[in-house]
Structure 1
Amino acid sequence: MNDNKQNFVAPYLKGVGQIMLQDNLWTGLFFLAGIFFDSFIIGIAAVLSVVTGTLTAKILKFPEENINSGLYGFSATLVGVALTTFFSPQPIIWIAIIAGSALAAIFQNFLISKKLPGFTFPFIVVTWGLYYIFTHLYVVGAPAAIAANTVDYNLDDIVLASRGFGEIIFQASIIAGILFFIGVFIANPVAALYGLAACVISSIVAYFLHEPITDIQQGMFSFNAVLCAITFSGVSQKNGIFVLLSVLLAIAIEVLMIKFSLTPYLTFPFVGASWIVLAIKKILPEAYR
């Protein structure tokens, strides 16, 4: 990839990579490869979303540095992926993807301008709103079912790790999860390895909480934990403590949301847990942060 092409596509690819907090265009490329491997339609939605979110930022003249780092693309990308995962790709859904991606970018800029740690919160708010519309006001059916992998994996299978990464972007296949892991590892090996540890810890905790084994195997109790681990990863002992705390909080929030039928919970357990840990770190003495 020559410099001119790299400079042109970098904000868009980084926008996809920032889903897992990586300011790296190759990370985004691996993420897109994983998405397209699982579903061409969802892959198109991801591309449309990240382009819409990034162009919205350019048109509205949001800070160039943030645009180049992909900060207006990741929530937008998740909006497109979520809508084509939940709903049949009818024309109204494609219109909603464009509108939702633009709104996510605008909301993201608001949070950035206020110096608030938004993470994927714009994606959550926009998707919750559109989900309500398409399930209550203008009902759109679910997409055609995709054949599930029916192999009975053991709890300690490496599949748990790959699916924990994969479900962050709504992808259930082992291959997509591995590609996502590689994408993070390229940019930040420590974060990727913390993510693997988070998959194991969250799966074990969910198992002992008697959550459905099929959901555990699919990575449904791991993907928020992986995002927490990536967020607070680092080389010091303190990083490990905050990773563990955030992972446990994310699991607790997710279990509560499921218990009270607050679904789809999306990445809110990750966001909620991260906010709590950041608040704890803020009140700690400097030496313990």
Structure 2
Amino acid sequence: MIQRKSFVLSCLRGVGQIMLQNNAWTGALFLLGIFYDSMVMGLAAVVAVIAGTLTAQLLRYPEADIDAGLYGFSPTLVGVALTFYFNPVPLVWVAVILGAAAAAWLQHQFIRRGLPGFTFPFILVTWVLLYLFLHVYTPGAAASVAGGMPLSDDFTTATNGFGEVIFQGSVIAGIIFSVAVFISSPVAALYGVCASLLGAFISLEFAEPATDIHMGLFSFNAVLCAITFAGDKPRDGIRVLFSVVLSVLLDVWMLQQHMAVLTFPFVAASWITLGLQHLLLKIKTK
């Protein structure tokens, strides 16, 4: 019974780690938001996080990392992404399970080397599967998500940035996700709201479609950057601002090239920010 409870908590933390929160309640609220928007994507999220966590256990990865959910967030995103892009035919469910296992394995390659992989395992696995499924493509939730968006206002523009991190387009899901982050880290949530609005403003300057901006397509990577570097020191704010602006510029460019953006702008901007931070630290210590 204790082991079963521990496994459930590990899975919930894995879902919470999508926005870098080691909090089971945050993960539970994320699942609630996903299920609110789509029962299919919610089920895919559950199947994927279980598959990823089980893979980590079977391969005997460090128990502390499994317990913290580090092998759950990329698999969860793979599951949601596949049922977002494709209708849930049997082949897609097989891909959800295998893709989740592959994402967990890739995550371990970063962890064992002490490298910040963030959501890159999810990105790599999903890009490969999107390419492989290109010729058997059946539109999924992505085909109709824009039709359900309400009229734009500043509040929902801010929260939609949170929702799109996990492919959810409703106002309710965005609010649930932002509250879920807030209960774990109020500072991170507030930074995320500011980043979402900044992402919308920058993309507006590039004359991007208003519907896409309001949906949060230019904000969700910014939200992830803000959460990653959020802190209570002035230098944290500088890192947030730099990474957010860079991620939005990458987001705009990739969407203009009709690429599957996913969370790559967040990962690239975070790597560049950390690289520059390391370089400046080395210069100071010389």
TM range (shorter): over 0.9
> The residue matched to 2:99 in structure 1 has which SS?
helix
**Does structure 1 residue 202 correspond to structure 2 residue 199?**
yes
Give the Cα separation in 2 of the matches to 1:103 and 1:95: 12
Counterpart residue number, 2:95: 96
**Does structure 1 residue 264 correspond to structure 2 residue 260?**
yes
Give the Cα separation in 2 of the matches to 1:83 and 1:273: 24
**Does structure 1 residue 226 correspond to structure 2 residue 223?**
yes
* Contact 1:227–1:270, Cα closer than 8 Å, also in 2: yes
* Contact 1:49–1:101, Cα closer than 8 Å, also in 2: yes
Could you give the per-residue CA deviations for residues 37-73 of structure 1, whole angstroms, max 9, x where no partner exists?
0000100000000000000000000010100000000
Counterpart residue number, 1:159: 156
Question: Residue type matched to 1:229 in 2?
Answer: A
Give the Cα separation in 2 of the matches to 1:256 and 1:45: 30
Q: How far apart are residue 285 of structure 1 and its match?
A: 3.0
- Cα RMSD (Å) of the superposition? 1.8
Distance 1:150-1:38 versus aligned 2 partners, 3 A rule: closer
Please give the residue correspondences for 1:59-74 in structure 2 after superposition, counting only pairs within 5 Å.
59-74=58-73
Give the Cα separation in 2 of the matches to 1:271 and 1:45: 23
Give the Cα separation in 1 of the matches to 2:4 and 2:102: 27
Please give the residue correspondences for 1:1-289 in structure 2 after superposition, counting only pairs within 5 Å.
6-136=5-135, 139-143=136-140, 145-146=143-144, 148-149=147-148, 151-154=150-153, 157-261=154-258, 263-285=259-281
Question: Residue type matched to 1:87 in 2?
Answer: F
Q: How far apart are residue 115 of structure 1 and its match?
A: 1.0
Q: Identity of counterpart residues, as a percentage? A: 52
Give the Cα separation in 2 of the matches to 1:89 and 1:76: 17
Give the Cα separation in 1 of the matches to 2:82 and 2:106: 18
Q: TM-score, normalised by structure 1?
A: 0.94
Structure 2 runs not aligned, ≥5 long: none
> The residue matched to 1:158 in structure 2 has which SS?
helix
Q: TM-score, normalised by structure 2?
A: 0.95
Give the Cα separation in 2 of the matches to 1:159 and 1:196: 10
* Contact 2:149–2:169, Cα closer than 8 Å, also in 1: no
Could you give the per-residue CA deviations for residues 162-186 of structure 1, whole angstroms, max 9, x where no partner exists?
1100000000001001110111111
Question: Residue type matched to 2:190 in 1?
Answer: L
> The residue matched to 2:137 in structure 1 has which SS?
coil
> The residue matched to 2:22 in structure 1 has which SS?
coil
Distance 1:170-1:288 versus aligned 2 partners, 3 A rule: farther
* Contact 1:52–1:102, Cα closer than 8 Å, also in 2: yes
Question: Residue type matched to 1:134 in 2?
Answer: F
Distance 1:93-1:150 versus aligned 2 partners, 3 A rule: closer
Q: Please list every run of at least 4 consecutive aligned residues from structure 1 whose deviation after the TM superposition is greater than 6 angstroms.
A: 2-5, 286-289
Q: How far apart are residue 3 of structure 1 and its match?
A: 7.5
* Contact 1:238–1:288, Cα closer than 8 Å, also in 2: no
Distance 1:110-1:249 versus aligned 2 partners, 3 A rule: same
Could you give the per-residue CA deviations for residues 72-121 of structure 1, whole angstroms, max 9, x where no partner exists?
00000000000000001000000000000000000000111111110000
